Amino acid sequence: MQVLTYRNGGAWREVKDAQEDGNGRTIPDPALAEINRNLSDCFRCTNLVVLTGLGTSLHVNVQPKAPEESGPRAPQAGKRIAPTMADLWRECKANCGDRFNKVIMLTHFPTAKGENIEALLSHCKIAEEFLGDGEEKTQVKEFIAIVEQTVRDCVRFLDVEDEVGLHADFLRRLVRRSTRKLRTKVFTTNYDLCFEYAARKGRYVIVDGFSHTTPQVFDSLYFSYDIVKRESSPDSHDFIPNVFHLYKLHGSVDWTKNKNSGEIEKDPTSESPLLIYPRNTKYELSFEQPYLEMMSAFQTALRQPDTGLLVLGFGFNDNHLAEPILSAINSNLHLKVVVCDPGLGPWESKDKGVQDGNDAKHPYLSKLRYLIEHGDARLALISATFEQAVPLMPDIAAETDLEQHYERIRLMREAG
C-alpha cells in the first residue's frame, strides 16, 4: 500500500512492515498513520458520501491465493466472479462466433483501442445510425442484442448464499456513525447485489428509492424518508441506527420497467433488467429516469458543507461522474476527498523497472495529484484494494448486543 498527501511533501510513501524499538515497542509506520488519519477525517464529516466501482466486487467468490502466487483471478468451485471489461470481451467473442470479427470490420473499430467492449459497443451504436437498412445494419443490431444479453448474464454472478462478509464489514463501519449526522450515502456504478446481500446479512436498513409495497416501485420521494423508533409513548421517537442510502447510478440487475404502468419495479428474475450498458452514451442515459434522480443526489451531496467523499474501486473513467467530482473539488472548500484504488502510485515492473501509476497519466486523477503536490490538504490518494482498505477504516463502535445476537442466530442456522 502507498499514500500520497500534502503532508508527504507531494511524494508517494509506502506502508512498510511494523518495526520495533530497542524496548520491544512497535514503531508506528508514518504511511499507515497517514492513511488512518485521512480515512478518520473523512468518516468524521457530517455528510459522508461513498462512490464505489467494479473494484469493490472483484474479490467476491475468488479462489484465495498464496502470497507468492500470481496470475488471473479464478472462481471458487461452483461459483461465479464479477467480470472485468476484458472478461466481457472474451465472453462476447465466444457467444457471437464469426459475427464478432464481421462487426469489427463493419464498424471500423480501431485495433489501437484493444479489447475494450465499451468502445466496441459505442462504435456499434454509431454504425447502427449510419448504416442503411439492409443486412449489415441487421448484423450490427443482432450483435448489440447478443452483447447486452451477455453482459446481463455475466453481471448476475452473485447468489444469495455467496459470501459478502467484507461488504458487510464495510457497511458496519459506515452505518455505525452517530444518528445525529446525516445518513451515509453509498453511490455505486455496479449492477450487482453485493450491498443488498451484505445489508441483509448485517440486518442493515437500505433506503434505495423503492417503496415498501409489493411490487416495490421506485419514487425519488422515498429518499427523503427516514426511519424512527417509537416506544409506548407517542411523543417519544428516535432515529434508528444502521440505516444508509443506496444509489445505483447505472441501474441494477433486479430493476425492470413495467410496460403497462411505465413504473420502475424490483424483479430479481427480470430478463430485461434496467441497466446503462457500457458505451459512450452513458452520460446521456444518466440524465433519464430513474438515473437522473441518482445523479442529482450525487451532485447535490458533493456541494454540501463538511462533506467527506470516499472513492473505492472507481477508476474515474466515467466522465459523467468524474466531472462533478472535480467541479465540487474546485468549488467546495469544505469537501474532503479520499480515493482508494490499487492502480494508483508507482509500481515495480519485472521487465521495465519502476512504472507510473494512473495518477500520473489519467486526465482526472493527474489533476488530483497536481493539487496534492501543490499543498491541497483536502485530498488524499491511497494505493490499495478494497480488501486492504476496509480493515483500515475507523470502527467507531464495537458490535452491539443486537448484532451479536443476529450473528449467533446466523451461525446456528448454518450449523443446523
What is 2-64+161-409's CATH topology?
Rossmann fold (3.40.50)
Please give the C-alpha separations between residue 347 and each of 4, 14, 67, 354, 357, in angstroms, as whole numbers.
14, 11, 17, 6, 7
Please give the C-alpha separations between residue 333 and each of 50, 365, 378, in angstroms, as whole numbers.
18, 19, 8
Q: Note if the bond before 394 is cis, omega within 30 degrees.
A: no
Please give the C-alpha separations between residue 290 and each of 220, 235, 255, 263, in angstroms, as whole numbers.
8, 36, 10, 10
pLDDT in tens, 25-40: 777 888 999 999 999 9
The answer to whether the beta carbons of residues 273 and 252 sit under 8 Å apart is: yes
pLDDT in tens, 39-80: 999 999 999 999 999 999 999 999 988 766 777 889 999 999
Q: Indicate the domain borders of the chain.
A: 2-64+161-409, 85-155
**Given this model, what pLDDT does residue 337 score?**
97
Give the single-character DSSP code of 185.
Answer: E
As a whole number of angstroms, the distance between CA 222 and CA 346 comes to 44
**Given this model, what pLDDT does residue 241 score?**
85
Strand partners, 245: 185, 207
**Given this model, what pLDDT does residue 283 score?**
65
pLDDT per residue as tens, the chain (416 positions): 999 999 888 889 999 887 777 676 777 888 999 999 999 999 999 999 999 999 999 999 999 887 667 778 899 999 999 999 889 999 999 999 888 888 888 888 887 788 888 888 888 888 887 777 778 888 888 899 999 999 999 999 999 889 999 999 999 999 888 888 899 999 999 999 999 999 998 889 999 999 988 889 999 899 999 888 877 677 777 888 889 999 999 999 999 998 888 899 999 888 888 888 877 666 676 667 788 888 999 999 999 999 999 999 999 988 889 999 999 999 999 999 999 999 999 988 777 788 888 999 999 999 999 999 999 999 999 999 999 999 999 986 555 666 667 667 767 877 76
As a whole number of angstroms, the distance between CA 324 and CA 297 comes to 11
Q: Give residue 301's Cα distance to chain centre.
A: 17
The answer to whether the beta carbons of residues 52 and 341 sit under 8 Å apart is: no
pTM for the model:
0.89
Q: Note if the bond before 110 is cis, omega within 30 degrees.
A: no
Give the single-character DSSP code of 182.
Answer: P
Helix (H) / strand (E) containing 340: strand 335-340
Q: Give residue 415's Cα distance to chain centre.
A: 33
**Given this model, what pLDDT does residue 347 score?**
86
